[in-house]
Amino acid sequence: MSVPRVLSIAGSDPSGGAGIQADLKAIAANGGYGMAVITALTAQNTTGVTGVHLPPAEFVRQQLDVVADDIQIDAVKIGMLAATATIEKVAHWLDDRRPANVVLDPVMVSTTGSRLLDAGAEHALRDLLHRADLITPNLPELAVLCGEPLATIWTDALKQGERLAAAHGVLVLVKGGHLSGDRSPDALVAPDGSVIEFDAERVETTATHGTGCSLSSAVATRYAATGDWATAVAESKAWLTRALRGGEALRVGRGQGPIDHFAGLRRDIPVDHTQAWWNAIAPVREGIDELPFVRGLADGSLDERVFRHYLEQDALYLREYARVLAKASALAPTRAEQVFWASAAQDCITGEAQLHDAWLGGEPDVEPSAVNRAYLAHLAAAGPDYGTIVAAALPCFWLYLDVGERLAEHSHNEHPYRDWLATYSDPGFAQATADAISWARIAAANANDEQLLRMATAFRVSAEHELAFFAQTP
C-alpha cells in the first residue's frame, strides 16, 4: 500500500496542538492521508479548555457513514468522544462497518486538567475497548479503566496494562509520559501477557500538549503501512521524540505548547536567512539612528562641513563599491542576476558623477578616510563565492533605504537638506533594494553551512562598517 488513508474520530482543538488538528498533522507527518470526523468542538488553548460543544450524536454517525461510503479506510484513530451518546454511535458504526486497524486513545482529561469525557460515560467507554485493536491510555486513564489507584512506578503500570489487556482482549500501549525520571518508556502489552518495551529519552520541555493524540495517530498510520505493531510503535516513538524536541521553538501559546509534528521537515523548507541577518544587526541600526550626523540630517541642524565631508567620502566609496557590484555580476549564476548587479554598478557610477556635479562642484581632491578604506577593504576581500559578495554588498542598499525612509519623513520645504533627503526615498532605489534582498535570499537558500556562515559574517561586518561610515567626522 502506498499512502494509508487514516480516519480520526476525535474532538477539535482550535489552538492546533491536540485533538483532530494534531491527528491530521501526525497522520500526514507519518506518511498517511488524514480524514476527520469531529465528535466535539472544544474552546481551548495551551492554557486550558474553556468550553465544549457537542454536535448531535446522530450527526457524528452521518459523518462516519458518508466517509465510509466513499473512501477505503486503512486505519482508524479514535480520540475524544465526550459523551455516552457519541460513544454508542461510534460503537454501532464500528460493529456495522468493521473497519480494520482501530487505535483507541481513551481520552478523559486534558493535560491542563479539564474533563473531556462526561463523568457518567466511563462505563460506555470501557464497553468500547474490545472493539479496538490497540488502546493507548495514559497512566491516569489506565488506572480509571482498571478501577485501580494511579500507578506511580513503571512495573506497576505494566501490571495494570496486563490486567486491562486480558480483561478486554485488546492490545494495550502503556505510556510512561506521566512518570518522572530521565526516560519515557512505553510498552505494548498483549492479552496473553507478553510485553514489548520501547525506551526513549525524556525530552526536557514544556511543549507536551497533544503527545497522546499525536502518538496514537502516528501508530495507526504506521501500522496501516507496516502491518506490525512493534514496528509501528518504535517508528512513531522515534518520530514523536523529535517532534517533542522541536516543540518549544514553535513559540505557540503561553501554557503547555504543542509538539512540532513536522520538525523533521523543517530543513527542507526554505528559511529567509536575510531576515535573520537583518534582525541580528538591530543594535547597528539603533546605533545609526542615534548618531549626531543622522539626527542633524533629520532636523537640518547638521554642520555643512560635516555634510560635505560625508558626501566626498561617499563619492569615493561609490566608485569602489561599483566594482564590487560588477564582481557580483561577473559571478552571477543567472542572466537576471548578472543584469541586476551590472545595472546596480552602473547606477553607482552615475550616482558618483551626480554627487560631484550637483553637490560637490567638481572632482573633490580628497583621499579616502581610514574608515572608508577599511570598509572598502572588507568589500574587496569578500568572497570568493558569489553569495558572500552579495551578502557583503547588501547592507549598503538595505541600511541606506532603511535610514532614508525615516529621514525623508522629516523633510519640508524649508529643510536645508531637502534635496538630499529626497534621494533617499527614491522608489527606484527601494525597488533595487528589494531585488538585492531577494537575490541574496536565494543565494543563501542554495548555500551550504560553511558558505552561509561566511555570508552572515560578511553581512554583519558590512553593517558595522556602515555605522562607522555614518559616524565619521572631518
Ligand X SMILES: Nc1ncnc2c1ncn2[C@@H]1O[C@H](COP(=O)(O)OP(=O)(O)OP(=O)(O)O)[C@@H](O)[C@H]1O
Residue 160 binding ligand MP5, by CB under 6 A: no
The single residue among 44, 184, 221, 433 that binds ligand X, judged by CB under 6 A, is 184
Residue 203 binding ligand X, by CB under 6 A: yes
The single residue among 7, 68, 94, 107 that binds ligand MP5, judged by CB under 6 A, is 107
Q: Where are the beta strands (DSSP E) in 191-272?
A: 195-198
179, 221 Cβ separation under 8 angstroms: no
φ and ψ of 301, to 5 deg? -85, 0
Q: Per-residue string for binding with ligand MP5, 41-60, x by CB under 6 A?
A: -x------------------
Listing DSSP states for 221-256 in one string gives HHHHHHS-HHHHHHHHHHHHHHHHHHHGGG---SSS
Q: Work out what residue 392 binds among ligand MP5, ligand X, none; the CB cut-off runs from 5 to 8 Å by kind.
A: none
Instruction: In whole angstroms, give the CA distance from residue 175 to residue 121.
Output: 23
The H or E element that residue 5 is part of is strand 5-12
Whether 211 is a known active-site residue: answer yes
Residue 212 binding ligand MP5, by CB under 6 A: yes
* Binding footprint of ligand X, residue count (CB under 6 A): 23
The single residue among 46, 101, 110, 388 that binds ligand MP5, judged by CB under 6 A, is 110
* Residue among 210, 228, 17 at smallest CA distance from 134: 228
Q: Work out what residue 184 binds among ligand MP5, ligand X, none; the CB cut-off runs from 5 to 8 Å by kind.
A: ligand X
Using CB atoms within 10 Å of the CB of residue 193, give its burial: 0 to 12 exposed, 13 to 18 middle, 19+ buried: exposed
Candidate list 213, 257, 327, 348, residue with the active-site label: 213
**C-alpha cell recorded at residue 345:** 554598478
**Given the rule CB under 6 A, which of 207-215, 272-280, 311-319, 393-401 is the region that contacts ligand X?**
207-215
Whether 213 is a known active-site residue: answer yes
> Which position's Cβ is nearest ligand MP5?
19
**C-alpha cell recorded at residue 138:** 495514559
Whether 210 is a known active-site residue: answer yes
The H or E element that residue 192 is part of is none
Pairing between strand 186-189 and 195-198? antiparallel
Q: Work out what residue 42 binds among ligand X, ligand MP5, none; the CB cut-off runs from 5 to 8 Å by kind.
A: ligand MP5
Residue 433 binding ligand X, by CB under 6 A: no
Instruction: In whole angstroms, give the CA distance from residue 424 to residue 470.
Output: 14
Residue 36 CB, shortest distance to ligand MP5, in Å, is 11
* Closer to ligand X by Cβ: residue 68 or 102: 102
Instruction: In whole angstroms, give the CA distance from residue 95 to residue 468.
Output: 76
Instruction: In whole angstroms, give the CA distance from residue 81 to residue 86.
Output: 6
**Given the rule CB under 6 A, which of 120-128, 177-185, 420-428, 462-470 is the region that contacts ligand X?**
177-185
Candidate list 25, 77, 89, 175, residue with the active-site label: 175
Q: Work out what residue 241 binds among ligand X, ligand MP5, none; the CB cut-off runs from 5 to 8 Å by kind.
A: ligand X
* Closer to ligand X by Cβ: residue 205 or 423: 205
* Closer to ligand MP5 by Cβ: residue 19 or 32: 19
Instruction: In whole angstroms, give the CA distance from residue 48 to residue 44.
Output: 6
Burial call 350-368: b when 16+ CB within 10 Å, e when fewer: ebbeebeeebbeeebeeeb
* Closer to ligand X by Cβ: residue 212 or 287: 212
The H or E element that residue 454 is part of is helix 449-471
Instruction: Indicate if the alpha-carbon torsion angle 236, 241, 244, 250 is positive or negative.
Output: negative
Q: Work out what residue 11 binds among ligand X, ligand MP5, none; the CB cut-off runs from 5 to 8 Å by kind.
A: ligand MP5
Q: Per-residue string for binding with ligand X, 111-130, x by CB under 6 A?
A: x-------------------
Whether 175 is a known active-site residue: answer yes
38, 106 Cβ separation under 8 angstroms: no
**C-alpha cell recorded at residue 64:** 462516519
**C-alpha cell recorded at residue 175:** 505510556
Instruction: In whole angstroms, give the CA distance from residue 88 to residue 323.
Output: 77
Candidate list 11, 176, 212, 387, residue with the active-site label: 212
212-231 residues in contact with ligand X (CB under 6 A) are 212-213, 215
What is the binding site for ligand X (CB under 6 A)?
18, 111, 138, 175-178, 184, 186, 200, 202-203, 205, 208, 210-213, 215, 237, 240-241, 244
Give the active site residues.
175, 208, 210-213
What is the binding site for ligand MP5 (CB under 6 A)?
10-13, 18-19, 42, 79-80, 107, 110-111, 116, 209-210, 212-213
